Structure 1
Amino acid sequence: MATITELKCAVRDTLESRGVMGQLKARIRAEVFSALDEQREPRPPLPRENLLINELIRDYLEFNKYRHTASVLTAESGQPDVPLDRQFLANELNVTEDASSKSVPLLYGLMAHFVNSGGPGGKVFLRGGSLPAATPAGNTVPGLDA
């Protein structure tokens, strides 16, 4: 007769081998963040650059079927529940797509661009953009606007 500990281990191993354990953990995290958010003060407006970055990440997560991770991102960041329209996002990023690039997340196309189009020495020169520098909390840092 199996002990309780052996049964727990067997169930855990089965859930892990089926890929369910990670989904359950992500779902629990999302629910915890959601419950905590309900008790907080209203969030400040999400800065434009954070909205765009979060949307690129959500697009990537959902493409790769990391839906629970995407739900945690949405809950924790204050990102709108409804994803931004892809064409709107591409326009905001000044990106033009061809038919093949539309089948993968925009983040893949941006990554390919930077990997394949380096400047002198194969490096891409980054300069301060027109977006204000942001802190992790989403607040702009005074004096660091480009």
Structure 2
Amino acid sequence: ELKCAVRDTLESRGVLGQLKARIRAEVFSALEDQRELRPPLSHQNLLINELIREYLEFNKYSYSASVLTAEAGQPDVPLDRQFLANELKVAEDASSKSVPLLYGLVSHFLNSGGSDGKTLVRGAAAGSSAPGPDV
């Protein structure tokens, strides 16, 4: 009975799920081919991962967020939202601050576009010779 009570308490506090997610992340890490080095976490990947983490945490997908953080090598402490908005050159109003930035970005692209209704997306920054994660 004590075992069930402890498990139920840990589950209700969300601790059990976090532990399971952390264990999964560690198992994935241990199983990875150590010869395949992950590319360094570029600035662009850091921002993208933070947008995804903010979205996951907002939707209470804390296990997925925990695995993303561990697997991607993200800092344990999320980046400041205002910093993210500034880096992405996003201006927010009061209502947009109540939802993840990713919602605002998707909404923007759904509601705007060129004359054909599409927005041109580029794979690399101007002046860069090749697209990739280091934009």
TM-score for the superposition, normalised by structure 2: 0.70
Q: Structure 1 unaligned runs (5+)?
A: 1-19
State the shift of 1:83 in Å.
0.1
| Residue identity matched to 1:78 | G
Whole-angstrom distance in 1 between the partners of 2:131 and 2:67: 24
Cα distance in 2, alignment partners of residues 105 and 112 from structure 1: 11
Q: How much has 1:47 moved relative to structure 2?
A: 0.5
For the pair 1:60 / 2:55, whether they are aligned, the reply is yes
CA-atom RMSD in angstroms: 2.8
Partner residue, 2:131: 133
* Post-superposition offset of 1:32: 2.1
Compute the displacement of 1:110 (Å).
0.2
Q: Does 1:91 align with 2:86?
A: yes
Gaps of at least 5 residues in structure 2 are 1-13
CA distance in 2: counterparts of 1:33 and 1:75, whole angstroms: 10
Change (3 A) 1:120 1:51: same
Structure with the greater alpha carbon radius of gyration: 1
> Which structure exhibits the higher relative contact order, with contacts defined as CA atoms closer than 8 Å and separated by 6 or more residues?
2
Q: Distance in 1 between matches of 2:43 and 2:106?
A: 21
TM (norm. structure 1) is 0.66
Equivalent residue for 2:24? 29
Q: What is the distance in 2 between the residues matched to 1:30 and 1:45?
A: 18
Q: Which residue of 1 aligns with 2:76?
A: 81
